[in-house]
Amino acid sequence: MTLVWFWLAIAGVFLVVEIATLTLDFLALSIAALLTAISAYILQRGPQYKYMALILFGGYAVFSVLVFRIFIRKWIFGPKPLGENPLSIDRVKGQKLVVQDVDGKMVVWYEGNYWNIISSQELKPGDTVVVEELKDGKLVVKKIL
């Protein structure tokens, strides 16, 4: 019977931590400890059950955390808002960049990479341009006067 009280105390500790943090992770662990206490009450058969209870707690914990992470958290907090796609052209549109000459090609430096550029205007190194769109893997730019 002491094993049952031990797991109930663990469940209570996890519940107190959950109330303090409001992450739902510790609530899942509290439920796992409560299920382990119920299992200990039903199946208690001597001292070797202590190790079986730890294994059951691990299984219950994994299951309950997964259920809370996949289903309950989305239901309570709603889906995560879609952030800006890091590969989206919308990030580079309107950026003001400086033209550089690399191996005879006019390019711009943007977020750690050289980008080939297309322009209907005559460009030279040092010109400031604004990005209008992405076409065939190249930035279409317009010279800022």
CB 123, CB 140: distance < 8 Å: no
pLDDT reported for residue 40: 87
pLDDT of residue 80: 64
pLDDT for the residue numbered 2: 84
109 neighbors 142 (Cβ within 8 angstroms) = no
**72 belongs to a structural domain:** yes
For residues 16 and 12, give the distance between their C-alpha atoms in angstroms, rounded to a whole number.
6
Is the domain of 31 the same as that of 73? yes
DSSP three-state, residue 48: coil
Report yes or no on 46 lying in a domain. yes
* Model pLDDT for residues 31-74, shown as the tens digit of each residue: 999 999 998 888 876 667 788 889 999 999 999 999 988 888 77
Burial 105-143 (b: 16+ CB within 10 A, else e): ebbbeeeeeebebebeeebeeebebebeebeeeebebee
77, 106, 126: which is the final residue of a domain?
77
1 or 100, greater pLDDT: 100
Q: What integer pLDDT is reported at residue 46 of this predicted model?
A: 64
For the purposes of burial, counting CB atoms within 10 Å of the CB of 33, is it exposed (0-12), middle (13-18) or buried (19 or more)? Answer: buried
Of 75-84, 103-112, 126-135, least confident by mean pLDDT is 75-84
**Residue after which a domain boundary falls, among 77, 104, 134:** 77
How many structural domains comprise the chain? 2
pLDDT tens-digit readout, 80-110: 665 556 556 677 888 899 999 999 899 999 8
Residue 46 DSSP one-character state = S
- pTM of the predicted model over 0.75: no
Are both 8 and 72 inside the same structural domain? yes
The Cα 107–Cα 105 span in angstroms is 6
